[in-house]
Structure 1
Amino acid sequence: MDDTKISRRVVVTGGASGIGLAVAKAYLDSGAQVGVVDLTSTDELSVYGNRVHTRIADVSVETKIATAIDELSQAMEGVDTLVACAGIDGELGASVAEATSAGFRRVLEVNVLGVFHTVKHALPHLIKEEHASVTIIGSDSGFVSAPGMLAYEASKGALVQVTKALSLELYVQHGIRVNSVCPSIVDTPMARKGLGVESFEGAPYPVNRPEDVARSVLFLSSFQSRGINGVNLLSDFGFSARSSFVALEDLSL
């Protein structure tokens, strides 16, 4: 089956900036209609005309995201693809002694509960469609750790298992595939602000571009990947595969 023959009516949360914006543009460039949900709007998608539909909503507030998805489904006459991208980084750099309960809770509310709300309220629309899919934007922080990122890492670790659990339930019951893309650091405004840098140019480590993540998202939602379900796809240049074996240092790896 030719994937281009599948209707694409896509909802992207967190689609006004960063990875979400790149994902929205990628689907629009492929000819899809895209519904963008975010806390703010963006003028960058205006060039796509009436194929863009926007709603302002906080994914952590269930009634708000439910209404936004229902309205977008009505505007696009359905939803067959969901990309849950909305997320925050929280109190980066804070040790466990310095982190606050309120800050930790807020990260979990947006990054984990927000995904739950989004999938739950998109489901009544997705089950009506053939070849429907959900893609969650996770992080390599769901697999590895760095200091000062406790809440963020906890939330992304949770999404690894959320992806697996949803992939089983939704595929068995409805034929809906659920996967996630888990990049290492991505050159976004949030990442630059969180790390206190103006640019990643010349960084001593590889950095994903938002467009890199977007391409992975498009593939995972396409008919060509119809056998892929329950996968947390790492996009980390292979760093998580490295051994701690000291001799590797002698190999300049």
Structure 2
Amino acid sequence: MDLQLHGTAALITGAGSGIGRATAVALAAEGVRVALLDRDRASVEATAAAVRAEGTATEDAVVVVADVTDEGQVRTAVDEAVEVLGRLDAVVCCAGVSGPVGASIEEIDLAAWNAVLAVNVTGPFLVLKHALPALRAARAASVVLLASDSAFVASPGMVPYCTSKAALVQFGRALSVDLADAGVRVNTVAPSIVDTPMSRGDLGAAAFEAPPFPVQTAEEVAAHVAYLVSPRTRAVNGAGLLSDFGYIARSGFPA
């Protein structure tokens, strides 16, 4: 299917690795001109190299280094991306952290709690706050937020992360309502466990050798993102795509 994305422009946060990098490569392969935002310059430069190798857009990827929790850095980065690209048709917010894993709330200090909410929720707020003027000017703009199945189900010791992803899902719904008349669609993708550096850091590399649970690749998630970015999904707004191998549909009844 032609996703009708050739010649459009997108900003991807958290583009230095994992789902962000896979999304950048997937969109570039569709002819999208991409701006890559991450706080780690070396990682995002590596993504730019991957985009050059796989992309079909004539222009090189735009690299912008910023911490999504710092409004001044975000404003500067978004302005630079829009200036270089000349337009902005999509924003994909992939930047995220897991925070304390395996800890009860009595063991979590306020700074650690705030850090998770700052990256996972405030980060998308700041990026979209400053990207909206450019998105409003686009003919058909799309925002995709990377949530998680942890917005709907919970594992022990994941309270900050689950809370942040649930907040992100509702942020997307509320924003889709506010922007409906502006022609800017907002949707979320909520995958279960994805084989990324962050997941391996949380669970350990050994957990992925013969996992007792289904695991998806970052490239599979990126395909969902590309579909939602596409004008082919112009009627899809305020929605969430849950990719969890059907786990949430299963009954916990022991029978």
Identify which of 228, 234, 241 aligns with 2:249: 241
The reply to whether residue 71 of structure 1 matches residue 74 of structure 2 is no
Could you tell me whether the CA contact under 8 Å between 1:141 and 1:157 is conserved in 2?
yes
1:120-140 C-alpha deviation (Å, 9 max, x unpaired) = 111010011011000000000
Which runs of at least 4 in structure 1 moved beyond 6 Å after TM superposition?
A: none
Q: Show the counterpart of 2:128.
A: 119
User: Superposed, which structure 2 residues align to 1:73-112 within 5 Å?
Assistant: 73-112=82-121
Could you tell me whether the CA contact under 8 Å between 2:92 and 2:145 is conserved in 1?
yes
- Rounded Cα–Cα distance in structure 1 between residues aligned with 2:60 and 2:246: 37
Moved more, 38-47 or 135-144: 38-47
- Rounded Cα–Cα distance in structure 2 between residues aligned with 1:75 and 1:92: 39
| Gap regions ≥5 residues in structure 2 | 53-58
- Rounded Cα–Cα distance in structure 2 between residues aligned with 1:19 and 1:5: 19
- Matching residue's letter, 2:223: R
What count of residue pairs does the alignment treat as equivalent? 245
Identify which of 158, 180, 186 aligns with 2:194: 186
- Matching residue's letter, 2:141: A
The reply to whether residue 159 of structure 1 matches residue 162 of structure 2 is no
Identify which of 162, 174, 177 aligns with 2:185: 177
- Rounded Cα–Cα distance in structure 1 between residues aligned with 2:162 and 2:114: 13
Q: TM-score, normalised by structure 1?
A: 0.93
- Rounded Cα–Cα distance in structure 1 between residues aligned with 2:222 and 2:99: 23
- Rounded Cα–Cα distance in structure 1 between residues aligned with 2:119 and 2:33: 25
RMSD: 1.4
1:101-133 C-alpha deviation (Å, 9 max, x unpaired) = 110000001100001001111101001101100
- Rounded Cα–Cα distance in structure 1 between residues aligned with 2:212 and 2:127: 36
- Rounded Cα–Cα distance in structure 2 between residues aligned with 1:103 and 1:5: 39
Could you tell me whether the CA contact under 8 Å between 1:183 and 1:234 is conserved in 2?
yes
SS of 1:234's equivalent in the other structure is strand
Identify which of 45, 48, 58 aligns with 1:45: 48
- Rounded Cα–Cα distance in structure 1 between residues aligned with 2:50 and 2:228: 26
1:77-101 C-alpha deviation (Å, 9 max, x unpaired) = 1111100110100011111111111
- Matching residue's letter, 1:241: A
SS of 1:146's equivalent in the other structure is coil
- Rounded Cα–Cα distance in structure 2 between residues aligned with 1:125 and 1:194: 36
Q: TM-score, normalised by structure 2?
A: 0.92
- Rounded Cα–Cα distance in structure 2 between residues aligned with 1:5 and 1:166: 23
Q: Show the counterpart of 1:250.
A: none
SS of 2:4's equivalent in the other structure is helix
Could you tell me whether the CA contact under 8 Å between 2:25 and 2:50 is conserved in 1?
no
| Gap regions ≥5 residues in structure 1 | 248-253
Q: Show the counterpart of 1:20.
A: 20
